[in-house]
């Protein structure tokens, strides 16, 4: 069997030193507190709150259940204006909660929902806007807030990609009624599996904590309908370790991102999303947009043959999901074009300079 010249995966989870994780979990053998909001989960929530400058960060099992809980806690059951350009969980959580997704097309530059198209999609049944800060790039949060206030709508931001992103000098998570994070293994910060729900007042935080824990915590009273969204001490321990390494993780990502930006990003066939100067970025992804789908397939196939992984992240445009109810499907030309022409490159801190140079050289050769 012929060996491919490279073995470069598109994603590779960061892992802290083994001894550090072993030391972090050692106390679990003493206290046998394995799950149900133990001391490590509490410590992680406190440290994340400190990092973001926010009071209410609630640790959960993943970045999907938090979207579902967000809809439940806000009492959203009707139409939700949402983006077609995201990971499938943004749409599937709406369908799972029996809400009706109303897709509004995106802006080509930021890949976020296009605020100028939102008002035309609002009906008397509209209850909320659920938008994704795709690739960690902020939505037009001012415009969305103004529309939501005018029409009395709730705003949920799927901020799965936006860990640590600052906008206009403060955490991007300050915007919206609720924001959600994913701590999946491939994210900038991870707990293997995990997520968080961010809210802005103590009563909503209490409601979320109850909903995350079957609707009852610590006594025999059952306060509301709940689900199991709690995460374990072992996951929290991974988070506590990874948080200590966050500066080096982000610096490592930036190094790779900058190398791509100075080379692939300057190629005449390549377009890139636009990051505004008021954004302090987390270097979560490096997507490029190519002129057409045939070029994407040629470049991806060529890199794959050499052992270099890339991903069509995000494809398909979610308004084209095969299982959508027929009356939900609408056309979103910008999202459809971007999803057909996008290619995301490997981006993680332990990619070596030699590997990055190889990815760049092979990509530029394929682009011609
Ligand atoms: C935008 C977005 N939302 C939600 C999720 C779901 O997160 P999780 O995999 O933690 O459930 C992801 C995961 O990649 C995502 O990218």
86 Cβ inside 6 Å of ligand 1: yes
132 Cβ inside 6 Å of ligand 1: yes
82 Cβ inside 6 Å of ligand 1: no
Cβ–Cβ < 8 Å for 189, 249: yes
Cis peptide bond N-terminal to 223, omega within 30: no
180 Cβ inside 6 Å of ligand 1: no
* Domain locations in the chain as residue ranges: 18-244, 246-367
- Tell me which CATH code domain 246-367 carries: 3.90.1150.10
How high is the pLDDT of residue 78? 92
Q: Distance between the two ends of the chain, CA-based, in angstroms?
A: 29
How high is the pLDDT of residue 69? 98
Helix and strand numbers (H, E) in the chain are 12, 12
Same fold, 18-244 and 246-367: no
Closest atom of ligand 1 relative to the 193 alpha carbon: 10
> What is d(CA 368, CA 365) in angstroms, rounded to the nearest whole number?
5
115 Cβ inside 6 Å of ligand 1: no
How high is the pLDDT of residue 161? 98
The residues that bridge with 312 in the sheet, in sequence order, are none
61 Cβ inside 6 Å of ligand 1: no
Pocket test for ligand 1, best of 10, 59, 61, 64 (most atoms within 8 A of CB): 64
How high is the pLDDT of residue 327? 86
Question: Which uninterrupted H or E stretch holds 80?
Answer: strand 79-82
Closest atom of ligand 1 relative to the 186 alpha carbon: 14
Residues of the chain with pLDDT below 50 are: none
What are the C-alpha distances in Å from 142 to residues 155, 158, 215, 344?
12, 16, 34, 28
Fold of 18-244: 3.40.640
CA of 185 to the centre of ligand 1 (A): 11
CA of 136 to the centre of ligand 1 (A): 12
How high is the pLDDT of residue 1? 57
87 Cβ inside 6 Å of ligand 1: yes
> What is d(CA 49, CA 106) in angstroms, rounded to the nearest whole number?
31
In 3D, which of 168, 103, 33 has the Cα closest to residue 316? 103
Which residue owns the Cα nearest ligand 1 atom 16?
Answer: 87
> What is d(CA 286, CA 257) in angstroms, rounded to the nearest whole number?
7
pTM of the predicted model as reported, rounded to 2 decimal places: 0.98
158 Cβ inside 6 Å of ligand 1: yes
């Amino acid at each position: 069997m012929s060996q491919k010249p490279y073995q470069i995966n598109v994603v590779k989870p960061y892992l802290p030193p083994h001894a550090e994780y072993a030391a972090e979990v050692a106390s679990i053998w003493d206290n046998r507190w394995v799950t149900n909001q133990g001391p490590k989960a509490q410590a992680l929530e406190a440290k994340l709150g400190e990092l973001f400058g926010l009071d209410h960060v609630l640790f959960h099992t993943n970045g999907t259940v938090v979207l579902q809980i967000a809809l439940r806690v806000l009492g959203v059951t009707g139409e939700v204006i949402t983006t077609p350009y995201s990971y499938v969980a943004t749409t599937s959580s709406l369908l799972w909660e029996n809400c009706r997704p109303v897709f509004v097309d995106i802006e080509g530059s930021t890949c976020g929902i296009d605020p100028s198209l939102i008002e035309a999609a609002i009906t008397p049944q509209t209850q909320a806007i659920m938008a994704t800060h795709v690739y960690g790039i902020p939505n037009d949060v001012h415009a969305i807030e103004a529309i939501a206030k005018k029409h009395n709508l709730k705003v949920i931001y799927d901020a799965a990609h936006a860990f640590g992103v600052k906008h206009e000098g403060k955490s991007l998570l300050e915007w919206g009624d609720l924001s959600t994070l994913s701590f999946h293994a491939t994210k900038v910060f991870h707990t293997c599996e995990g997520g968080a729900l961010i809210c802005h007042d103590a009563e909503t935080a209490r409601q979320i904590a109850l909903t995350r824990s079957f609707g009852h915590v610590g006594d025999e009273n059952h306060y509301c309908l709940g689900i199991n969204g709690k995460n374990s001490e072992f996951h929290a321990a991974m988070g506590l370790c990874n948080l200590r390494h966050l500066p080096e993780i982000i610096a490592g990502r930036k190094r790779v991102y900058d190398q791509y930006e100075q080379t692939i990003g300057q190629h005449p066939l390549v377009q890139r999303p636009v990051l505004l100067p008021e954004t302090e970025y987390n270097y979560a992804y490096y997507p490029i947009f190519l002129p057409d789908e045939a070029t994407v397939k040629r470049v991806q196939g060529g890199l794959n043959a050499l052992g270099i992984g890339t991903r069509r992240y995000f494809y398909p445009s979610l308004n084209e999901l095969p299982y959508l109810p027929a009356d939900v499907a609408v056309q979103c030309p910008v999202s459809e074009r971007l999803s057909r022409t996008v290619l995301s490159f490997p981006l993680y801190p332990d990619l070596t300079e030699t590997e990055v140079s190889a990815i760049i050289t092979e990509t530029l050769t394929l682009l011609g």
